[in-house]
Structure formats: C-alpha cells, structure tokens
Amino acid sequence: MSQRDFNDVPRSDGVFTGSLDQETFRALLFSSFLHQQSQLRASQREGERLAAIAATRRAVAEATDLRAALNLIVQRALDTTGATGAAIAIGSLGEMTCWAMSGPTAPPLGAYLPVDSGLSGECVRTRRSLRCDDTESDPRVNREACARLGGVGSMLLVPLLRRNNARGILEVFSTRPHAFDDSDEQVLELLAVIASMALADFAENEATARVARSAATGVRPASIPVPPV
C-alpha cells in the first residue's frame, strides 16, 4: 500500500486523514483528544451529582425536623448547580412562604412568595419546571424582586408536587445570565422529588401525632395548627 493509499484510510476514531499534512493531522488528533476528555469529565460530573443526590436522600430520611431536611436540600441544590442562591417555598395556590434558603441571592426565611403572577405563579399553575435564562429579557420575570435579591440574572424553578398539586417550589438563582442548563434542571427535579417526599412524610407523621394529641387532650385534630404542606 502506498503512502497516499494509507493517508486515504479512515481512522477507527472517525477522523478521516485524507491527504492532510502532519500539522493538520496532529491538530485533529489533539481536538479529538480534548473532546474525549470533555466527555469523560462530564460523565464523572454526572456521577458525582447522582452520588450527592443519593447521599442527600439518605440524610433527609434520617432528619427528624422538616426545616432541617429542607435545609439539606437547598444546600445540595446550591452546590450541585453552582447557583448563588437556593430556596424552598411551601404553601398553597393562594400563598407561599420561604421555609429554607441558602446563598446570598436567596429570599429570606419567611418571605412571601407571590404565586398570582410571574415565574413562581406559572410554575405553581402549570406544575412544570421553568427556566429563565436572562431576567432582563424575560417578560415573565418580576425585575424588582430580582433586584432585591442582589441582581439575579437567571433562575430555575421546579414545583414540589403532592397528589398532582403544587405544594411548594424549589428554586435556584444566579447573578449570571444563562447559568443553568438541562442537566441542572434534571438534578433540581430529583431534589424536588426528595423534598416532596419529605413533605409527605411530615404530613403523615404530623397527622398521626395530631390524632394522638387529640386523644390525650380531648382537642379536636382540626384545631391543632400545622405547617402548610
């Protein structure tokens, strides 16, 4: 086989050498190597994220306090997405308040979350994940609220569903536009499932405790206040 014939044979890695000079051929090999390394790093990152989510699920299952469980989840959301703020709001269609937060651009604990308009309202009404890549150009965004949070440039919201109703929202914020991608959305949805399970477990345990208290005190269960889950 002549040198020209050898140069015309496609490589097993998909790079067709043709009659390329050595400099170009080396550049293509180096580009292919960088691409493979990038894919490997992405795979490792996803593996680390899944391991972190599994660890969060175990920690939440062991938590005896709802706020402590939710705090674990927002901290994990902050760490895994690279956000500058993360929060969980709980309530109903009429009103939600912040129960857990982490990061400088998260709303403070107890802050009211408007659900009659904006991205939060749309997330609750549609019961679907929503992503805003640029708060400056998205008409759904309350820009005044973004400014109060320290200049939020992008955000990602996932509903906490129970019996097909949105009982809360898990959201992350970033001061940078286009900070979140599809992978971040998938991670946040997994964390939202963990949060929803924590809410359901708490509601079930609290209902049992209310019945026990009513039997001991004679107070009707419906008159004992519980958090809005």
**pLDDT confidence of 48, banded at 50, 70, 90?**
confident
| Element containing residue 85 per DSSP (H, E) | strand 85-91
CB atoms within 10 A of CB 51: 10
Per-residue pLDDT tens for 173-216? Answer: 999 999 999 999 999 999 999 999 999 887 675 545 554 555 55
Contact yes or no for 172/140 (Cβ under 8 A): no
pTM, to two decimals = 0.72
Q: What is the mean pLDDT of the chain?
A: 79
CB atoms within 10 A of CB 225: 7
In this prediction, residue 19 carries a pLDDT of 54
Which DSSP string do the residues of 130-147 spell out, in sequence order? EEES-TTT-TTS-HHHHH
Residue 90 has pLDDT above 70, yes or no: yes
What the chain holds in terms of domains, given with CATH numbers, is: 65-216 (3.30.450.40)
Per-residue pLDDT tens for 101-139? Answer: 999 999 999 998 877 778 988 998 899 999 999 999 999
